[in-house]
Amino acid sequence: MLLNFILALLPIIWLFIAFLVLKLPGYIGCLTALAISIVESIIFKSLAFDDTLVGLTVGESLTASLEGFIGAIWPIGLIIIAAMFAYNLCVETKAMELIKNMLTSVTNDKRVLVLILAWGFGGFMEAVAGFGTAVAIPAAMMVALGFNPLFSAIACLIANATPPTFGSIGIPTTTAASLVGIDSGLIAGPAMNILAIPALISPFLIIALIGKTEHSKNAFKDMFGFTLIAGLAYVLPALLIANFVGAELVDIVSNTISLVVMLVLAAKRKPTDDPVFAMNLSSEEKAHLKDIPFGNVAAWSPYILMLILLIGTSKLIAPINAWVSSFVITFSVYSGADPATISLTILNSAVMIFIAGVIGGFLQKASIATMGRVLVNTIKGMWKAIITIVFIIALAKVMGYSGMTSSIAMLLADLTGAFYPALAPIVGIIGTFVTGSTTSAGVLFAQMQTEVAALLGVDPVQLVAANMAGGAIGKIISPQSIAVAVAAIGSIDGVKSVDSAIMGKTVKYCVLLGVIACAVSYITAVII
């Protein structure tokens, strides 16, 4: 059993070595991890290892990989391309200059701005869209505002370490709940209870990080109260909604409240007198604003339309969602037993984001030729990120079908016994690390969590909830999430592998938040 565990872990171990030790680019590290998993799966099949590591034939490995390729492109890759297209078009039309002016007119404090963009706006994007938009869009906007690119990526990843459990109108939690036959409302409360402390301290981690980035020991000067309120404005409504309403509205309501509260408080704050954290437009920059042939509403229009279209086609508007969801192509690719059904929704989130970007482009006086050129350049600039995502999702499929992921989880349960509830979030973290998706982490391990709960005599709701909480935290180190961040900030002078640089910084935050989640999971499942 221990040998199975080690063998199953090899692709994951390799990823950490590739990123943290060898400093390889993301797409190379993920490609080699995929190759390792395929070779291992074929060996497992040929040697008939056991019932856990069932292995795959060559054909099964290839079709499992192909299933991952398709899932990575549609919709994940398309959503990221559409989001970055909308952003790049705003840069091209100078709309981002107006957005920058508006934001700095609300507050000139970098610390406040990063919380508004990464924590507030990023959280809202996770609530309505998910699939990396919570990292891609705010990180790119922060770079445009003049923030350090590496800091921008890490800050957005930290901010996105808790909302994904209830992202995309609660899809991760509702999906996991449906698989195990438990009402999603029952899972939502315990999951949010586990995430409450990590969510509350995440804004503080971001402020501490900007202080370190700017080489200042005064990061929390006049900021402790604002940071605490930013966290509480999300956590308190989230706890109430998760425990008494359900999973679907947790993020969208709580992140909206947090964003609005921060904007109101920021508008009432005095401009910071600390030159380290002050962000002011020069008179020359302000002069150029007069030459932009459209106003502030047009500048923000892609994002306004994005939110309208995404919410309007979500499950919150059931009749429209049902109509949109009817345009779907379903098929199977995997050649082995129990193949997953691939559902390609034609009018998906990527299409809505792209439509918002195009309409916004017209409002910003962009020509069709300009939009075409920006789209082509966006695709060219993102090919490494897309390939990274393709390889990591293919890896997840091979590991899942071959029994590697289940072998890892089951051995953790066997080794820890009654102490397993303390480690249940780690299973979720592993799931998201491999797949890049909190939803997929639930699909992979929710059923296993219920089986372990039955063996231990623990409430299965608690372990499934712990899995979903851990899945959110795993986003912070997921190669897929990091690939999205890299695409948003671009290359950095003097940095060989931006992927490695980001993971080298985010691992410690994942460990910290993960340890807290594990402790709360054990307390709520066993002690209380």
Q: Where are the alpha helices (DSSP H) in 245-382?
A: 250-268, 283-289, 296-312, 318-325, 349-363, 368-381
187: exposed, middle or buried (Cβ count in 10 Å: 0-12, 13-18, 19+) = buried
d(CA 475, CA 84): 19
Tokens of 256: 């909206």
In order of 101, 279, 284, 293, the CA distances from 290 in angstroms are: 12, 20, 11, 8
* Average pLDDT for 333-353: 91
Distance CA 339, CA 56 (A): 13
Cβ contact 117:279 at 8 Å: no
Q: What is the mean pLDDT of residues 169-173?
A: 90
Residue 1: is its pLDDT beyond 70?
no
How does pLDDT run across 65-89, given as a tens digit for each residue?
Answer: 999 999 889 888 898 999 999 999 9
Say what the pLDDT of residue 271 is: 87
In one-letter notation, the amino acid at residue 138 is P
pLDDT tier for residue 283 given thresholds of 50, 70 and 90: low
Cis peptide before 421 (omega within 30 of 0): no
pLDDT in tens, 481-503: 999 999 899 888 888 889 999 99
Helix (H) or strand (E) holding 177: helix 167-180
Q: Is the pLDDT of residue 398 over 90?
A: yes
What is the tens place of the pLDDT at every residue in 178-223?
888 999 999 999 999 999 999 999 999 999 999 999 999 999 999 9
User: For residue range 251-276, what is the model confidence (pLDDT) as tens digits?
Assistant: 999 999 999 999 999 999 988 888 99
What lies within 8 Å, CB to CB, of 450 at 6+ separation is 180, 182, 460, 463, 464
Tell me what pLDDT residue 264 has: 95
With cut-offs at 50, 70 and 90, classify the pLDDT of residue 51. Answer: low
State yes or no: pLDDT of 507 exceeds 90: yes
CA–CA gap between residue 24 and residue 15 (Å, rounded): 9
DSSP 75: I
- Residue 442 near residue 471 (C-beta atoms within 8 A): yes
Greater confidence, 496 or 356? 356
Q: How confident is the model at residue 412 (pLDDT cuts 50, 70, 90)?
A: confident
Going by pLDDT thresholds of 50, 70 and 90, the confidence category of residue 285 is low
Q: How confident is residue 281, by pLDDT bands cut at 50, 70 and 90?
A: low
Around 149, how many Cα atoms within 13 Å sit in the side-chain half-sphere?
A: 15
Q: How many whole angstroms separate alpha carbon 204 and alpha carbon 192? A: 19
Q: Report the distance separating Cα 382 and Cα 136, nearest Å.
A: 11
pLDDT value, residue 456: 87
How many other β-carbons are positioned within 10 Å of the β-carbon of residue 236?
Answer: 15
From residue 169, alpha-carbon distances to 78, 126, 198, 229, 252 in Å are 19, 9, 21, 24, 7
pLDDT at 245 over 70: yes
Residues paired with 328 in a beta bridge: 345
Res. 177 pLDDT band, cuts 50 70 90: very high
Question: Length of the chain in residues, anyone?
Answer: 528
Chain segment 435-484, per-residue pLDDT in tens: 888 998 998 889 889 988 988 889 999 999 999 999 999 999 999 999 99
Residue 51 three-state SS: coil
**Residue 415 scores a pLDDT above 90:** no
Amino acid identity of 206?
I
Spatial separation of the C-alpha atoms in residues 142 and 437, rounded to whole Å: 24
At residue 30 the predicted structure's pLDDT band, cuts being 50, 70 and 90, is very high
Q: Whole-structure pTM over 0.85, yes or no?
A: yes
For range 416-428, the mean pLDDT? 92
Q: What is the dihedral of CA 431, 434, 438, 441, to 10 degrees?
A: -30
Question: Kind and range of the H or E element at 183?
Answer: none
Condensed to tens digits (0 to 9), the pLDDT of residues 226-242 reads: 999 999 999 999 999 99
pLDDT at residue 289 in the model: 84
Q: What is the pLDDT of residue 20?
A: 92
pLDDT for 416 equals: 86
Q: Is the pLDDT of residue 418 over 90?
A: no
